[in-house]
Amino acid sequence: MKNKETSSISGAEAVIRSLLEEGVDLIYGYPGGAIMPIYDELYKYSDSLSHILTRHEQGATHAAQGYARTSGKVGVAMATSGPGATNLVTGIADAQIDSTPMVCITGQVASHLLGSDAFQETDIIGISTPVTKWNYQITKASEIPVIMAKAFYIARSGRPGPVLIDITKDAQFELLDYTYEKCKGVRSYAPIPTLDTAQVEAAAEIINKAQKPMIIWGQGVILGEAEEEFKTFVETSGIPATWTILGLSALPTKHPLNFGMVGMHGNYGPNVLTNQCDVLIAIGMRFDDRVTGNLETYAKQAKVVHIEIDPAEISKNVKADFPVLGNCKESLSQLTVLVKHKAYNQWKQRFTDHMKIEIEEVIKGDTLPTKEGLTMGEVIIGINKYTKGDAVIVSDVGQHQMIACRYAEFVQSKSNVTSGGLGTMGFALPAAIGAKMGAPDREVLAVIGDGGYQMTIQELGTIFQNKTAVKIVVLNNDYLGMVRQWQQLFFDKRYASTEMTNPDFVTIAKGYHIDAQRVTKREELDQAIKTMIASDQPYFLEVCVEKEANVFPMIPTGASVSDIRLK
């Protein structure tokens, strides 16, 4: 909606009209007293702005994240003051560390009550400051258009992130002369560094001298909409490419230069060979501790090229010998012109040789099991069979997450949605709702453990009410599996508070009028997956898997990537 003419409206209506100006057509939220004026205006604009009532405010933030991750747009979540606002914080923190663009709007008590410990008053600005890219409290209606425009600009520009706007109740009622101008810049904020051609040339020179180069790419490739430029760079250079879990799907899984995942439960070759490459090219990733293991022993032999949009990430964890600051879409375009193609046959063969070892030691046991119990890996392989790699997989946090990332196949970008940096159990179910709404023409499957599922299980109500055709796969081992694995390996099998006594998940799903099935035997699995994928409605599938299976390979905490364990 374009409106450059001045008109006198309430602050609440100004919020709604500002959202429309920013192209927002979908909000996730939960109403309450302090934000009721905005909800009243939202009711009047329901033809042009849809609101999804989640069953918990945390669900609203995760749904907004899922929407942002598959649509590429800014997700929007809304809540009232006090507990409504604080319930948003986990999702905001998740979005901050995973660079997800999101704007959260919270109601607040009237401005004259601020600081008085009024009913449902909480200092959400103070609470959210460490986990937002920017936040602001509005106490005057006249501030709303400018602050809303600034919020969306900051959330989506440069390295994206969450923004929180807190609006007092009197500001929502107050009248203002409304005009709206989109924000095009903020003083002292440079979201995209100017690309230094000399940095690109220096990076190209060291890459061209390399005999054993290796690429690690992260989510920055996806956030920068640089998938085509990245693919061209990989193919032009001929360099083996590996990924972090948030970078997964930027390059098709079966691309001949895609050699797998780095990190704690990544592939054997990419981890071991990190400490043998001579040039390490990091693209849109931040050298998280789950990727690097012990920093004292990480890639010390290699020259490091780091292509990154955020100056704060350069040499933060791993020293960059050749930093290239800028949007990777532009950086890769310039770099590709300068790099020379090489075959690297002997070097690539080492990745292949390590994969052969991993297949024998780990992958066959995960995906071609001979044991009586079902494995998580064979469930993911079964899903691949019917989705052909074209689905969005939304995973929660734990063993199933690592298995999903290891074995799910993808043919297009924005297909892997998971909680990376914060590791938020309960993420997947509400995030899958948003992911489906952000990509309504794609199949969306939530892969969840029995522990994380119960943290946000109430969002089945959101699925039912909105008839969101999400497919839910719960891999049930009756344990908090990842914690139990650590207890087995490092705490002498003292399974303290990790065994779960679970409810009848199928009955619960059916209580929400969602078709549901439980699989306990291998011969039931294929048909169950086929039935689930064929459905055009929400569907719940519980698969009872081995109770004490572990995820390997694994780099123990504090160990070198070279010390990755296969069993």
Quick one: 395 and 492 in the same domain?
Answer: yes
- Known catalytic membership, residue 548: no
Count of other CB atoms within 10 angstroms of residue 181: 10
- Distances, alpha carbon 550 to alpha carbons 35, 133, 301, in Å: 46, 37, 32
Given the residues 13, 21, 57, 143, select the one marked as catalytic. Answer: 57
- 329 carries an active-site annotation: no
Structure tokens given for 53: 């009532």
Structural domain ending residue among the three candidates 316, 351, 386? 351
pLDDT tens sequence across 7-55 = 799 999 999 999 999 999 999 999 999 999 999 999 999 999 999 999 9
CA distances from 187 to 134, 154, 159, 529 (A): 14, 12, 17, 53
Clarify whether residues 535 and 390 are in a common domain: yes
Structural domains of the chain, count: 3
- Residue that is written with structure tokens 């292509």 in the block: 307
The residue behind tokens 């071991």 is 272
Q: Name residue 77's beta-bridge partners.
A: 28, 104
Helix axis angle, 227-237 to 328-338, nearest 10°: 20
Residue 169 designated active-site:
yes
- 187 is a domain residue: no
* 424 within domain boundaries: yes
Concerning whether 482 is annotated as a catalytic residue, the answer is: yes
Domain extent, residue 29, equals 7-178
Provide the CATH number for the domain around residue 280.
3.40.50.1220
Q: Is the domain of 139 the same as that of 207?
A: no
379 within some domain? yes
Point out the catalytic residue in the list 1, 120, 235, 488: 120
Around Cβ 442, how many Cβ atoms within 10 Å? 16
Does residue 385 share a domain with residue 330? no
- Is 238 among the domain residues? yes
Active-site option among 119, 173, 490, 491? 119
22 is an active site residue: no
Task: List the one residue out of 280, 270, 288, 150 whose CA is nearest residue 213.
Answer: 280
Q: Are residues 59 and 160 in the same domain?
A: yes
Catalytic residue among 78, 214, 425, 482: 482
Buried-state track 203-219, b at ≥16 Cβ within 10 A, e below 16? bbebbeebebbbbbbbb
Tell me: do 389 and 524 sit in the same domain: yes
Residue 563 lies in a domain: no
The verdict on residue 310 lying in a domain is: yes
DSSP 224: T
Short-list 367, 387, 384, CA closest to 376: 367
Residue 342 shares a structural domain with residue 382: no
Q: Do 222 and 335 share a domain, yes or no? A: yes
Whether residues 45 and 149 share a domain: the answer is yes
Q: Say whether 137 sits in a helix, a strand or coil.
A: strand
Tell me whether residue 237 is in a domain: yes
Tell me, what's the pLDDT at 1? Answer: 42
Residue 444 falls inside a structural domain: yes
pLDDT of residue 5: 61
For the domain that residue 446 is a member of, what is the CATH number? 3.40.50.970
Element (H, E) at 163: strand 162-168
Residues of the chain with pLDDT under 70: 1-6
Given 133, 150, 178, the domain boundary residue is: 178
Tokens of 108: 């607040």
Catalytic residue among 133, 169, 414, 436: 169
3-state secondary structure (DSSP) of residue 138: strand
Q: What is the dihedral of CA 504, 84, 12, 66, to 10 degrees?
A: -50
| Same domain for 127 and 64 | yes
